[in-house]
Structure 1
Amino acid sequence: MIVDAHTHLLPKDYPADAPECFPHMEPIEGSDDRLLVFGKMRFPAKEVFFEAERRVEAMDASGVDTEVVSPMPPLLRYDLPAADGLALARHVNDFAAELSSHAPERIIGLGMVPMQDPDAATAELAAIADAGLPGVEIASNILGSSIGEEKFLPFFTEAERLGLSIFVHAMPAPIDRLPTSAMGTYVVGIEGMYAAASMMLGGTAAALPDLRISFSHAAGGLAMMLPRANYFWGGSWNEEPKDLERAVMPDDGPSPLELARRFYYDSMVFDRRTIQYLVELLGADRLLLGSDFPAMPREDPASKTARSLELPEDQWEDLSWRNAMRWLGRDPVTAGVAAPQAQEASAR
């Protein structure tokens, strides 16, 4: 069974009386696709972004049994006025619930909240749960503020209380430290690392051990930094026992690696060697399959690179679908049976 835990949606339309700052969709002549217009953005959105039948067809074609579908990241516009941000979030959440309803065992929609107003975002989580959405997507920074800052702790506390999952998608900060050409490459790695590290250093990870949170693209460069952080914490190389005489910043709390192993990470990292490293450092029970579909084309078949590792069967089952169910708060044993077409395709 294959669960693609990192895919995206776009609503087909937006209210005619929506605020001027809302996005809108324009028809594309001779096509069922639409053009997303959102501020300066012009993005040709394929029909699969918003039509459930097209999504199921695409899953069947690539051997995917279930998709976790989150809002296309540019919708996470925290620079909007808080009231408009909440209105946009509710529209997107309604659409996510509607899209999921067409094939609930195959399309699992996530919502969004106006993180520019932490109190409003926290209050909106109850509505997310009531709508049957298992969680929300947030950006890796909120107008330049790290998500591990204390002002966001009530939001994550409420998400943990409600049993909602969090998907953190890497997004650029308002102050660019790299050229625009690095937006989709190095910025993703830097911002993902900052987000995960802030959750560890700010105390959220330690305070909320039952929070189910996943980071896009394996939290960028985090995994390369963790052994160094572990050395500063306890003076150990290769996770040997503590040697506090060598430690630069001794700490009696959980080690950085222990905290990092409380998170989930999608394995959309483009190289089997990187996935192997993540398996060895973080564990096969921490990784999810992801593709960024349809913003990016899936491998053919889906998970081709991860499958090439030839992991032991139990580890492969964790990576390919069981971890995704755990992250979503679902019992893998009773998670449901996938569509026969997808099972057949994924076996090829």
Structure 2
Amino acid sequence: MIGPLADGPVDVHAHWLPEELFALPPGAPYGPLHDRDGELHLGAVPLSIATRAMSDVPAIRADMAAAGIGVRVLSAPPFAFPVAGPAAAYVEAFNSALGAIVAGSGGALVGLGLVSLDAPGPATAQLEELAGRPGIAGVAVPPLLAGASLDRGVLRHVLGEASRLGLSVLVHPMQLPRPEWADHYLANLVGNPVETATAVAALLLGGVREALPDLRVCFVHGGGCTPGLLGRWDHGWRTRPDVRRDSTRPPGEAVRALWFDTVTHDPGLLDLLVARVGKEAVVCGSDHPFDMAQRDPVGFATGVGLDAAALTANARAFLGAGR
């Protein structure tokens, strides 16, 4: 439930986690987070960011001012997603802490909460609670869970309930480890875009968006590999009955009902994204405070011809805040 937003550009993709939750959910595949001389580490791995950039609200507000951001949407970093079993206490602690900082921000901060991902029942109860929290627009979820994506299992249930409750959904990859991606940061550089494209394909080919016409869902990092694969998906949809079994529209058409952020690191790729999904589907994102963040999100987007006011209107539509 979000009220009036502050003026200025909206950054839909930024992360926050209070220090008291650095232990991460039970069974988390990474971590825990900890501070070492002011620098944030995930387990033994340095994250190349200052600890306060993740957890300190004044530091986040200062970064917003420097980047010309009027409204920043905060979600948990993906390693805090509760993907390894029951985590109701952690979810409640995060949502309560997030609700407290966004409710007192004068519309400059908006929250996307967490939900348990081990069973449908707890997720429904948590989503219903999020829908009543001031300053909370929706929920952030991973693109993959237990061998399934957005068209099956708990993730599909969460999308259905979010649509019913009028909540926005941000889909963020988890940088899942694979042996062939062990070196050169490939779990991020290759894995993240592949995870996201898998989720977009599952949503479109699985008929989820058709079944949930009111669903507001945004994919980060420009949709990962999606812009370059839509032509291939369309060809498969036209030529193979198993590809089009659960959907009535080719992916290249259905994709225009989704949102995608601008964190592409490549003006040419951002141009391609706009060409494939339409200007109305693109929203400004930063990925603050990570090393792969777009440090000047508004300047990057407007530098390729996107209009700042239109990006803000798109973000407000995604958040259910109108214009």
Classify the TM-score, shorter chain.
0.7 to 0.9
Question: Could you tell me which residue of structure 1 aligns to residue 76 of structure 2?
Answer: 71
Aligned length: 308
Of 123, 137, 146, which aligns to 1:143? 146
Question: Could you tell me which residue of structure 1 aligns to residue 16 of structure 2?
Answer: 9
Matched, 1:210 2:214: yes
Q: Secondary structure at the match of 1:183?
A: helix
- Paired residues for 1:294-333 under 5 Å: 294-296=289-291, 299=294, 301-311=296-306, 313=307, 316-319=308-311, 321-332=312-323
Question: Could you tell me which residue of structure 1 aligns to residue 53 of structure 2?
Answer: 48
Question: Once the two structures are superposed, what CA deviation does each residue of 1:263-295 show, in whole Å capped at 9, x if it has no partner?
Answer: 111110001111111111110100111111111
**Partners of 1:14 and 1:24 within 8 A in 2:** no
**Partners of 2:265 and 2:294 within 8 A in 1:** no
Question: Once the two structures are superposed, what CA deviation does each residue of 1:49-92 show, in whole Å capped at 9, x if it has no partner?
Answer: 2222222111111211111111011101411x31xx12111111
Of 116, 122, 126, which aligns to 1:114? 116
Of 73, 98, 103, which aligns to 1:101? 103
Of 179, 185, 189, which aligns to 1:185? 189
Question: Once the two structures are superposed, what CA deviation does each residue of 1:139-166 show, in whole Å capped at 9, x if it has no partner?
Answer: 1111332222155433211110100011
Task: Output the CA distance in 1 between the equivalents of 2:283 and 2:22.
Answer: 35
Gaps of 5+ in 2: 1-7
Once the 2 structures are TM-superposed, how far is the Cα of residue 6 of structure 1 from its aligned partner?
0.8
**Partners of 1:188 and 1:220 within 8 A in 2:** yes
Once the 2 structures are TM-superposed, how far is the Cα of residue 300 of structure 1 from its aligned partner?
5.6
Question: Could you tell me which residue of structure 1 aligns to residue 167 of structure 2?
Answer: 164
Q: TM-score w.r.t. structure 2 length?
A: 0.85
What letter matches 1:11 in structure 2?
A: P
Matched, 1:291 2:286: yes
**Partners of 1:116 and 1:142 within 8 A in 2:** no
Once the 2 structures are TM-superposed, how far is the Cα of residue 34 of structure 1 from its aligned partner?
6.6
Task: Output the CA distance in 2 between the equivalents of 1:230 and 1:35.
Answer: 43
Q: Secondary structure at the match of 1:292?
A: coil
What letter matches 2:51 in structure 1?
A: K
Identity of aligned residues (%): 26
Q: Secondary structure at the match of 1:134?
A: strand
Matched, 1:154 2:157: yes
Task: Output the CA distance in 1 between the equivalents of 2:179 and 2:316.
Answer: 36
Q: CA RMSD in A?
A: 2.8
**Partners of 2:263 and 2:293 within 8 A in 1:** no
Question: Could you tell me which residue of structure 1 aligns to residue 3 of structure 2?
Answer: none
Q: Secondary structure at the match of 1:98?
A: helix
Q: TM-score w.r.t. structure 1 length?
A: 0.79
Question: Could you tell me which residue of structure 2 aligns to residue 225 of structure 1?
Answer: 229
What letter matches 1:224 in structure 2?
A: G
Gaps of 5+ in 1: 235-246, 333-348
Task: Output the CA distance in 1 between the equivalents of 2:293 and 2:177.
Answer: 29
**Partners of 2:39 and 2:46 within 8 A in 1:** no
Task: Output the CA distance in 2 between the equivalents of 1:139 and 1:162.
Answer: 19
Q: 1:304 to 1:294 in 2, by over 3 A?
A: same
Once the 2 structures are TM-superposed, how far is the Cα of residue 260 of structure 1 from its aligned partner?
1.2
Q: 1:255 to 1:62 in 2, by over 3 A?
A: same
